[in-house]
Amino acid sequence: MSGPGKWIVVKFSEDEMLINCATIDQTLNDDGGNFLLLNARRAEPRYRIPPSKLRRRLDHHKARNMLVADLNVCEEGKNLSSLTSPSGFDLATAHFADGTESSARLLVGDNGNNSMTRRCLFEGGT
Residues 83 and 121 reside in one and the same domain: yes
Over residues 44-55, the mean pLDDT reads 74
Residue 1 counted as domain residue = no
Q: Is 48 helix (H, G, I), strand (E, B) or coil?
A: strand
Q: Buried (b) or exposed (e) across 52-71, using 16+ Cβ within 10 A?
A: eeeebeeeeeebbebeeeee
Cβ count within 10 A of residue 94 = 22
121: containing domain? 72-126
Identify the pLDDT of residue 98.
Answer: 92
Mean pLDDT for all residues in the chain: 70
Alpha-carbon separation of residue 103 from 17, 60, 108, 109, 120 (angstroms): 29, 24, 11, 13, 15
Per residue in 7-44, pLDDT tens? 444 344 555 556 666 666 656 556 666 777 788 888 88
Residues 79 and 122 reside in one and the same domain: yes
Which residues, including other chains, have CB under 8 Å from residue 43's CB and lie 6 or more apart? none
Residues 77 and 60 reside in one and the same domain: no
The more confident residue out of 79 and 60 is 79
List the one residue out of 106, 26, 11 whose CA is nearest residue 58: 26
Residues 126 and 112: their CA atoms lie apart, in Å, by 11
Residues 64 and 39 reside in one and the same domain: yes
Per residue in 68-83, pLDDT tens? 776 666 767 788 888 8
Confidence of residue 99 (pLDDT cuts 50, 70, 90): very high
Residues 58 and 78 reside in one and the same domain: no
Residue 58 counted as domain residue = yes
Identify the pLDDT of residue 6.
Answer: 41
Residue 3 counted as domain residue = no
Residue 18 counted as domain residue = yes
Residues 49 and 29: their CA atoms lie apart, in Å, by 14
